[in-house]
Amino acid sequence: MWQTIVDKQHWNMLASAHGHAQFLQSWEWGEFQKAYGRRVLRLSWKDQVLVQFIDMPLPTGKFYWYCGRGPIEIDPSEKRLALSSLHQYLKKTNALFGRIDPLKSDFWKTAHTLNQKPIASTQPLCVRLIDITVPEKEYFEKGIHQKTRYNIRLSERKGVEIRNGEINNFLNLNAQTTERNQFTPHPNAYYIAMIKHLSQNPDQWQDCSVKIWEATYKGTVVASNIIIYFGDTMTYAHGASSSKHRNVMAPYLLRWRIIQDGIKHGYKYHDLGGVNPPADSAGLDNKNHLAYKPSWEG
């Protein structure tokens, strides 16, 4: 049966051990959501299936539970029985419904048989996932496109430097990026709260941690990335760049230094986030919703 989990170490120990660990299912991400005014529900099915739900308000005064990149299936054989009773558990909380954005599309094979309906995904249907378990030199020479290698070396020659970043620098660049690319960002308070509530020590694998990286050119910050670390995976969460000095290719060197650091600290994957689905990936039951790419395309 489903039970609520109230112990951080127990939750993160299980959630971080899952291959391609998902920070959206980490304890710290839930605490960040709480700080942002949302309720969090952490459920375990015999420690074999885990799911973290976030309370999402609706205009009617009702709410629904949202699960991003879950459930975590430690023992997939338990999934069907666990899901069959999940609806009834959530119904007792007075939620209007529960919404799940699964990591893998084969989740819906089980959900279909339980009369649970697939809907449009909030999370990207495809991500670019880089295997960084190979030696650094080998990855640079064989795992990166020639043009990307050229841009990295160009950035080095131009004198771009990489350092630990600051949230105010990211916010300044983010304003430029969103204006340039015409999209609406999160409020600044969202990024500030995220940095505050996630751990600042990415060496602790069972903690979900965050680090801001930034690139400077002649003393001016020209690019900034927010990287979230959890389990075996470091994820590119947010990025921004200056509208000036774009010819020095700072984002390329910044990404490469982040990857080098991940290799050094023993991470298995660098998740670059959403990419366009393959041309043949029509329908929610297509196997290509999660695209594993062995190379970094710049």
> Domain for residue 284, yes or no?
yes
Pairwise CA distance, residues 45 & 86, whole Å = 10
Going by pLDDT thresholds of 50, 70 and 90, the confidence category of residue 288 is very low
Compute the mean pLDDT over every residue in the chain, rounded to the nearest whole number. Answer: 88
% of the chain beyond a pLDDT of 70: 85
Query: Of 83, 113, 143, at which residue does a domain stop?
Result: 113
Give the count of domains, the chain: 2
In the chain, beta strands by DSSP E: 2-4, 40-45, 49-57, 63-68, 72-73, 98-101, 126-131, 161-164, 209-217, 220-230, 233-241, 269-275
Q: Which amino acid is at 237?
A: A
Residue 298 belongs to some domain of the structure? no
Tens of pLDDT, residues 21-75 = 999 999 999 999 999 899 999 999 999 999 999 999 999 899 999 999 999 988 8
pLDDT of residue 276: 64
Closest to 161 in 3D by CA, of 117, 109, 120, 214? 214
Query: Which amino acid does the sequence have at 223?
Result: A
Q: Contact at 8 Å (CB) between 248 and 258?
A: no
Who's near 221: CB < 8 A, 6+ residues apart? 165, 169, 172, 173, 214, 215, 242
* Residue that terminates a domain, selected from 63, 79, 113: 113
Taking the CA of residue 150 as centre, how many other CA atoms within 13 Å lie in the half-sphere pointing to its CB?
A: 4
217-226 pLDDT tens trace: 999 999 999 9
Q: Are residues 87 and 168 in the same domain?
A: no
The pTM assigned to this predicted structure is 0.90
Do 94 and 133 lie in one domain? The reply is: no
Does a structural domain hold residue 237?
Answer: yes
CB atoms within 10 A of CB 61: 6
Separation of alpha carbons 245 and 116, rounded Å:
50
Same domain for 148 and 216, yes or no, is: yes
Rounded Cα gap, residues 131 and 291, in angstroms = 12
Whether 107 and 131 share a structural domain: no
pLDDT digits (tens, 9 = 90+) for 183-227: 999 999 999 999 999 977 755 667 899 999 999 999 999 999 999
Tokens of 51: 């799911």
CATH number of the domain that residue 144 is part of = 3.40.630.30
**Given phi > 0 = left and psi -120 to 50 = alpha, else beta, which region is 226?**
beta
Mean pLDDT of 110-119: 61
- The pLDDT of residue 279: 55
Distance, CA of 197 to CA of 102 (rounded, Å): 24
Q: Which of 49, 54, 10, 59 is nearest to 31 (CA)?
A: 54
Q: Among 73, 91, 113, where does a domain finish? A: 113
CA distance 289 to 121: 11
Whether 151 has a pLDDT exceeding 90, the answer reads: yes
Q: Are 63 and 55 in contact (CB under 8 A)?
A: yes
Q: For residue range 250-282, what is the model confidence (pLDDT) as tens digits?
A: 999 999 999 999 999 999 999 998 876 665 554
Do 265 and 147 fall into the same domain? yes
- Is the pLDDT at 150 greater than 90, yes or no? yes
User: What is the residue type of 85?
Assistant: S
Of the listed ranges 81-95, 150-164, 208-222, the one predicted with least confidence: 81-95
Q: Which residues contact 283 (CB under 8 A, 6 or more apart)?
A: none
Q: Which domain holds residue 81?
A: 2-113
